[in-house]
Structure 1
Amino acid sequence: MEKRPVEKIVRIVTLAPVMALLALSILLGAQPERFGGIGNYVMAVIFLTVLPLLAYPLQQILPGWKDKGRDGQRKLAIWMAVIGYVAGVLCALAAAVPKGLLLVYLAYLLSGCLILLFNKGFKIKASGHACGVAGPLALLVCLLGPAALSGLPVLGLVYWASLRMGRHTWPELLLGSVLPLAALFLSIAVLLPF
């Protein structure tokens, strides 16, 4: 058995697509009108959860990725997430989903783009894991109110597990947590006039 099994379990359970599924499900339970129908919920799950999760099995079979180990897996996960987010925003616009759901899609897209920009463009490692927890948490606080802050300990667990496993440093985790907040504020500013 690998060292630090509890930390590994925490990191698996808190993968960004898993947190997206949890956030979407909480939002559906609390405010189903934000989706405008169960079909929009299913589409959001496909774009924000299923497509990003496909990176893990695809990395094992894609010729350009299968020999790149964990680093390749991480990079492919970022790319698959951004593809899902772009497709989600385009479908959301085409389907004229409610504004609250469009905010979710746009915040995810901008978060993914910022993570990609920092990691690939600026070569500054920002934790996608922290982003994948802080982003949904910020969205839930924005849409449901301060009671959603009760999810903050989950972010603390991600920090703990990531630091204990040596996957990220404090600055990488903090940057990964700040980027989705910037994406959310930008998304609100973009959608405010509409």
Structure 2
Amino acid sequence: MDKISKLAKTIRIITVVPIMALVMLVILYRINQNIFLETYQYVLTLVFLTILPLSAYPLQPVLPKFRDKGREGQRNLALVMGVLGYLGGIIWAICFHTTQELLFIYLIYFLSGIGILLFNKVLKIRASGHACGVAGPILILMYFIGSKALISIVVLASVFWASIKTKRHTMPQLIWGSVIPVVALLLAKLQIF
């Protein structure tokens, strides 16, 4: 594998959906702590948006339904664990009266997960979950901290390049994946504010 291919693979690894959620949450916690009423809300959000989705990777080899399905099984379990985490976050946010901003974030993640499922499983239009999981946090950062977050577009462009270079996705798949969180944000905004 040449250096360019290794770089592309590395970019894809370090920009997986839960890692992007982690980066977004750390930035939001440092810049706009009003989103979280207390530190425990920040910690629980880390669990719902990062730890639960990441748990798919160590769980896949031990769960019979996903064990023998290789990369596709891993991808499907990651989607299931992600949506469970997002749904758990919504339920927790509603039951424990978190801020509207935090509920808004959970709704964006949940609606994005549903959007990816709808495109890939129902409509049979392949939309990149990876692009969705990078574009979503970038949109959330732009929403809460404004133009300071525009620099993060470089990350999305890098993911597009790396995904095409590694032949994981085509440009239309990446575009569909990036549009889904835009629609999710607009729908969540209608529900919350």
Which residue in 2 is equivalent to 1:148? Answer: 149
Gapped regions of structure 2 (runs ≥ 5): none
AA at the equivalent of 1:21 = L
Alignment-derived partner of residue 179 in structure 2: 178
- 1:128-163, Cα deviation, whole Å (9 max, x unpaired): 000001000001101111111110000011001100
Q: What secondary structure sits across from 2:178 in the alignment?
A: helix
> What percent of counterpart residues are identical?
48
Task: Work out the number of aligned pairs and report it.
Answer: 192
Work out whether 1:103 is the aligned partner of 2:104.
yes
* Separation in 1, partners of 2:40, 2:172: 39
Residues in 2 aligned to 1:150 and 1:27: alpha-carbon distance in whole angstroms: 15
Spell out the pairing of 1:71-150 with structure 2 (5 A cutoff): 71-150=72-151
Q: CA RMSD in A?
A: 1.2
Partner of 1:164: 165
Q: Which amino acid in structure 2 is aligned with residue 28 of structure 1?
A: Y
Query: How far 1:69 sits from its partner (Å)?
Result: 1.0
Deviations 1:61-100 (A, max 9, x none): 1111111111111111111100110001000111111111
Deviation at 1:2, TM superposition (A): 8.7
Structure 1 stretches of 4+ moved >6 Å: none
Taking structure 1 as the reference length, the TM-score comes to 0.96
Aligned-pair distance for 1:122?
A: 1.3
Aligned residue identity for 1:65: F
Task: Flag the 1:127–1:29 CA change in 2: closer, same or farther, 3 A.
Answer: same
Q: Find the aligned partners of 2:103 and 2:179 in 1 and give their Cα distance.
A: 21
Unaligned runs of 5+ in 1: none
Q: Which amino acid aligns with 1:129?
A: H
